[in-house]
């Protein structure tokens, strides 16, 4: 890891990219461990609805196609598998399919099937929030970019950092769960041409 890389890691760590510290601690390979910080992200939100309702909403295929739009086009292939197509910054396109394991009541897991351009795995856990605050959702996504842990960083691959990918998906999911809609200014943001709307 170069000095510049270390600095970047520290900055990201300071801004919340410390989600994988526990996983890193278990690793034998320092280089891979540090890179892992670029490849995984965790975010949490609390939503004032019961677990069962949120779990059911998450599992609806249309939900997946709506909450990941900042990152990928998600198309349901059947109830539990979906195709993801993510755009890279220079016109590159990355495809993979995921399968969801919903065998646990308070946890959903998904992993990519074979031949994924960017292998990844996600875990969403549901926990009751204290008082009348509803349910806590904890989302953890890890990417395994091509070339292994020392290959291209996810943020370069997709032009979006992993933390932003999961945070924005959870934010949209909360909006959808509470209001039935996802906030948007596209295609009419304040600025002209729409192109300024990230």
Partner 1 sequence: MRALCWNGVNDLRVETVADPEILNPKDVILKVRLSTTCGSDLHLIDGLIPTMRAGDVLGHEFMGEIVDVGRDVTKVKRGDRVVVPSFISCGQCWYCQHDLYSLCDTTHPKPELQEPLLGYPTAGIYAYSHAFGGYAGAHAEYVRVPFADTDCFVVPEGVTDEAALFISDAAPTGFMGADFCNIQKGDVIAVWGCGGVGLMAQQCAMILGAERVIAIDRYPERLAQAEAFGAITLDYTKVDVVEALKELTGGRGPDACIDAVGMEAGGTGLQQAYDRVKQALYMETDRGAALRQAMLAVRKGGTLSILGVYGVMDKFPLGVLMNKGVTVRTAQQHGQAYVPRLLEHTRRGELTPAALATHRFSLEDSPRGYHMFKHKDDGCLRAVFSPE
Binding status of residue 50 toward partner 1 by CB under 8 A: no
Contacting partner 1 within 150-179 (CB under 8 A): 164, 167-168, 171, 174-175, 178-179
Mark residues 107-146: x for contact with partner 1 by CB under 8 A, - for none: --------------------------xx------------
Binding status of residue 91 toward partner 1 by CB under 8 A: no
Opening angle at CA 27, ends 25 and 28, nearest 5: 120
- Complex with partner 1: residue 43 or 118, whichever CB lies closer: 43
Of the candidate residues 34, 48, 110, 136, the single one contacting partner 1 (CB under 8 A):
48
Half-sphere exposure of 172 (CA within 13 A, CB side): 20
* Least Å from the CB of residue 187 to partner 1: 8
40: Cβ contacts below 8 Å, ≥ 6 apart: 19, 20, 23, 140, 141, 142, 143, 162
Helices (H), 15-142: 21-25, 30-39, 51-59, 61-67
Helix (H) / strand (E) containing 172: helix 162-179
Question: Which residues of this protein are in contact with partner 1, per CB under 8 A?
Answer: 15-16, 46, 48, 133-134, 164, 167-168, 171, 174-175, 178-186, 188-193, 196-198
């Amino acid at each position: 890891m170069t000095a510049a890389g270390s600095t970047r890691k520290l900055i990201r760590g300071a801004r919340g990219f410390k989600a994988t510290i526990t996983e890193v601690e278990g690793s034998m390979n320092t280089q891979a461990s540090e890179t892992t910080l670029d490849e995984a992200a965790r975010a949490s939100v609390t939503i004032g609805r019961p677990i069962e309702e949120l779990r059911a909403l998450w599992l609806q295929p249309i939900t997946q196609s709506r909450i990941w739009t900042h990152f990928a086009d998600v198309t349901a292939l059947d109830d539990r598998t979906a195709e993801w197509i993510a755009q890279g910054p220079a016109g590159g396109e990355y495809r993979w399919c995921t399968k969801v394991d919903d065998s646990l009541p308070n946890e959903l897991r998904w992993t990519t099937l074979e031949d994924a351009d960017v292998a990844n795995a996600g875990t969403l856990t549901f926990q009751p929030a204290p008082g009348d605050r509803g349910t806590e959702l904890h989302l953890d996504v890890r990417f395994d970019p091509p070339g292994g842990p020392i290959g291209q960083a996810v943020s370069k691959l997709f032009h979006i950092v992993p933390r932003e990918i999961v945070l924005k998906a959870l934010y949209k999911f909360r909006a959808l769960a509470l209001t039935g809609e996802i906030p948007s200014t596209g295609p009419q943001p304040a600025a002209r041409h729409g192109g300024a709307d990230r």
